[in-house]
Amino acid sequence: MTKQLRCFLIILLMFSTIFYGISILITQLHMLDFDNPIFISIYAIAGYSPAISAIITIACYYTKKECIEFFIKVINIKINILYYLYALVCILILWIPPYVISVVNGGSEDMLSLPLYYILIFAPMMIFAGGIEEIGWRGFLLPNLLKKLSVTKSSLLIGIIWSVWHIPMWFVIGSPQQKLNFITFFISCIASSLLLSLLYIKTRSVWICILFHAMDNACFQVFTYSIDSNYITAVYSILVIAICYYVLYKLTIKSTKYNI
């Protein structure tokens, strides 16, 4: 493990432990509610910990030129519009068909709590409620893992770290994660990590990963169910992303230096 990776993981563990710990304590003792502005500020630091860890590590180990190159990747929105459409289509493919599965298995037929276009309305807000994580996951961690590991191994490892990092949220009273099954959430993280890795490799843009993550989180506000709701929809998400992964892989890996 390189010094940079070790530094990133130590800082991530420190920030996550402290601020998730405080968040759990505050809500478990009913000191503050989940929607209290003071609590949200504390909880947000925990949520931003992957980005914070990446930025601190970069400041410590990268040259000025490397720092500039990194932040250019974060804000690089000038990518082929087809990749924006690809990200949006993947999100809809992931969320709409599970509705059919849910209904067939006796779930509610009321598919949407809000009109579908609200995904685009909520997405900008969700950049700051989940999307920012990608600065750490795909912006810093992925490129560093790819120096030693294949795309698939790097993606799977990030998916594991990503899902485990979310575990404290299940102990925060009022968090959306309390309504989810962790095993299905874990499966979903692994699957999404594969797709996000290829999006980054093809575009060299952290921004498209941030946007994908934000739109995915926006769907939680619009749809009346979650793709993490049960094992059937979780397995479905794996199959869909496996197909999307293969399609993007055919367009990506052959034109890069990375091994699958």
Give the distance between the most distant pair of CA atoms in the chain: 57
pTM more than 0.75: yes
Section 134-160 average pLDDT: 93
Distance CA 156, CA 118 (A): 31
Distance CA 167, CA 177 (A): 9
Residue 15 in domain: no
Is the distance from CB of 46 to CB of 168 less than 8 angstroms?
yes
Residue 172 in domain: yes
Does pLDDT of 173 surpass 70?
Answer: yes
Residue 158 in domain: yes
- 168 pLDDT tier (thresholds 50, 70, 90): very high
Of the listed ranges 100-109, 120-129, 148-157, 216-225, the least confidently predicted one is 100-109
Domain of residue 227: give its range.
78-255
Q: CA–CA distance from 165 to each of 99, 132, 144, 185 (Å)?
A: 28, 15, 19, 12
- Can you give the pLDDT at residue 254? 54
Taking residue 7's Cβ as centre, other Cβ atoms within 10 Å add up to: 17
pLDDT in tens, 85-112: 888 887 877 777 766 666 676 665 566 7
User: What are the structure tokens assigned to 59, written together?
Assistant: 């400041």
Residue 54 in domain: no
Section 67-94 average pLDDT: 85
Q: What percent of the chain has pLDDT over 90?
A: 45
Residue 25 in domain: no
The residues that bridge with 112 in the sheet, in sequence order, are 223
- Structurally, the chain folds into a number of domains equal to 1
**DSSP label at 137?**
I
Residue 43 in domain: no
Residue 44 in domain: no
- Can you give the pLDDT at residue 118? 87
Residue 67 in domain: no
